[in-house]
Every structure is written in C-alpha cells, then in structure tokens.
C-alpha cells in the first residue's frame, strides 16, 4: 500500500545477485582452473596498462595529477545522491490523518481525526483475541485517500475467514463512530511468529 518502488528494488536486487554470482564463479574458477588464472593475469595486466595510459594522458599542464580523479569524485557524489534518494523512497506513504472534513455546524471550522485513533482502537480490540499471536495496524495514503492496513498473525489452526470477518466487523464499527468509510487491507500472515508463540498473554 505504500509508495515503495518494489519493481526498482527487485531489479536492483537481481542485478546485485547476478554480480555476486559472477564474482563467486570467477573466484572458484581462479582457485581451481590454472588456465583461468593465466587468462586473468594477462587480462588484468592489460586493463591496468590502459588505465595508466589514460591517467598519464589526462594530466593537468605542468602537474602530475590527472583531471580524471575529479570526474571520478563527481561520479561518486552523484552515485551517493542517488542512493540517498533511493533509501528515502523506501516505506513512504504513511499518513497521520484519518479524516479531514468541514464542520457542518453553525460554527465554521474543520474536523480532523488522527490516524492514531483508528490504529490504537483496532490494536486494542485485536490484542484481546487469544487466537492471534500479534496484530499491527498502519495508515497509508492511497490515491489521496487514507487507507488502513491491518496485518494479523494467527495462531496455528485458526480459520482465516473467521479472522477476516471479525476484523471487518471491527472496521465497520470504527467507520460508524468516525462517520467515514475507509479502504482497508487485511493481511493474514503465517510465519515463525505465529508457530512458536505461546498461547498465554502476560498482562
């Protein structure tokens, strides 16, 4: 529900995975195949000579430094900026406002209800259920409208349709109190937390 660039993340992870796989295969071949080691030595020597020639031919007049170092520094700065922008895009979309409307009464004003009201109310209602190992509630902005994401961790053997129906009833009661219909995504997860958590709740 958030604006995390999932497609871009998968592409970057795929590229990184292929690179790590290629490096691993190369290291394994260098350690086990003598012919690959000989090829690597000749290839790396040629690359080193080309790099030296590039730096030698791009020196500042009368100085021993090459202006390629400045280009490399600028490229690194741009790369760092792109990485910071990419990290900043992760997990965006959360909102702290559930309802914003004009007061229809005689006194002009606005009605604003924070998302924490709905999140805390639903969490407290779900925390009393012995068939849940845990529950999280978050509010996101989807197409300019607030929406709730409810993540449930049921215990083994709990029918998911029962949890979905009961959660829908809680959301309907919340909507009746707030006076606004809110899109809701109910995510029922099954994992180690649900399998290994104990049934007792410490109060």
Sign of CA dihedral 81, 87, 89, 95: negative
Last residue of a domain, one of 67, 88, 109: 88
Sequence-ordered list of residues with C-beta below 8 angstroms from that of 133, at least 6 positions apart, any chain: 153, 154, 155, 193, 194, 197
Sign of CA dihedral 147, 151, 157, 158: negative
Same domain for 158 and 78: no
40-72 confidence digits (pLDDT tens): 999 999 999 998 888 888 888 878 788 888 999
- Residue 78 falls inside a structural domain: yes
CB burial of 45-62 (b: ≥16 within 10 Å; e: otherwise) equals eeeeeeeeeeeeeeeeee
Q: Which domain holds residue 37?
A: 6-88
- Residue 203 falls inside a structural domain: no
Q: What percent of the chain has pLDDT over 70?
A: 84
Same domain for 185 and 121: yes
**Average model confidence (pLDDT) across the chain:** 81
Q: Diameter of the chain by CA atoms?
A: 88
The whole-angstrom separation of Cα 53 and Cα 48 is 9
- Residue 201 falls inside a structural domain: no
Same domain for 168 and 106: yes
79-92 confidence digits (pLDDT tens): 999 988 888 777 66
- Residue 104 falls inside a structural domain: yes
Would the pTM count as exceeding 0.95?
no
Same domain for 109 and 27: no
What's the mean pLDDT in 188-196? 59
pLDDT of residue 203: 28
Residue ranges in the chain assigned as alpha helix (H): 6-32, 34-57, 68-88, 115-127, 160-178, 192-196
- CATH number, residue 134: 3.30.70.1350
Q: Taking 60 as the threshold, does the pLDDT of residue 103 lie above it?
A: yes
Same domain for 115 and 60: no
Q: Could you give phi then psi for residue 77, rounded to 5 degrees?
A: -65, -45
Alpha carbon distances (Å) from 150 to 45, 51, 64, 113, 184: 58, 56, 63, 18, 7
User: Residue 13 in 3-state DSSP?
Assistant: helix
- Residue 202 falls inside a structural domain: no
- Residue 79 falls inside a structural domain: yes
- Between 180 and 47, name the one with better pLDDT: 47
Q: Taking 50 as the threshold, does the pLDDT of residue 198 lie above it?
A: no
Evaluate whether 91 touches 100 at the Cβ level (below 8 Å).
no
What's the mean pLDDT in 158-183? 85
- Residue 1 falls inside a structural domain: no
Same domain for 81 and 102: no
Helix axes 6-32, 34-57, angle to 10 degrees: 120
pLDDT of residue 139: 83
pLDDT of residue 3: 59
Last residue of a domain, one of 54, 88, 122: 88
Q: How many domains does the chain have?
A: 2
What's the mean pLDDT in 101-107? 63
Same domain for 114 and 82: no
122-168 confidence digits (pLDDT tens): 888 888 888 888 888 888 877 777 888 888 888 888 888 888 888 88
DSSP per position, 70-113:
HHHHHHHHHHHHHHHHHHHTTT--B-SEEEEEE--SSS--EEEE
- Between 182 and 41, name the one with better pLDDT: 41
Last residue of a domain, one of 70, 88, 106: 88
Same domain for 186 and 121: yes
Same domain for 115 and 31: no
């Amino acid at each position: 529900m958030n604006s995390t660039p999932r497609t871009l993340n998968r592409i970057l992870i795929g590229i990184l995975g292929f690179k790590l796989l290629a490096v691993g295969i190369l290291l394994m071949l260098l350690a086990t195949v003598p012919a690959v080691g000989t090829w690597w030595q000749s290839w790396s020597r040629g690359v080193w000579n080309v790099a030296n020639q590039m730096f030698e031919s791009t020196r500042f007049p009368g100085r021993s430094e090459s202006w390629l170092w400045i280009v490399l520094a600028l490229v690194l700065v741009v790369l760092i900026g792109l990485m910071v922008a990419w990290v900043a895009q992760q997990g965006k979309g959360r909102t702290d406002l559930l309802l914003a409307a004009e007061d229809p009464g005689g006194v002009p004003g606005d009605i604003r209800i924070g998302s924490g009201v709905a999140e805390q109310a639903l969490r407290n209602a779900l925390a009393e259920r012995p068939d849940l190992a845990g529950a999280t509630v978050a509010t996101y902005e989807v197409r300019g409208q607030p929406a709730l994401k409810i993540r449930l961790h049921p215990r083994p053997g709990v029918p998911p349709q029962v949890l979905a129906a009961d959660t829908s009833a809680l959301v309907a009661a919340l909507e009746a109190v707030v006076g606004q219909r809110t899109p809701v995504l109910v995510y029922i997860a099954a994992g180690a937390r649900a399998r290994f958590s104990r049934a007792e709740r410490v109060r």
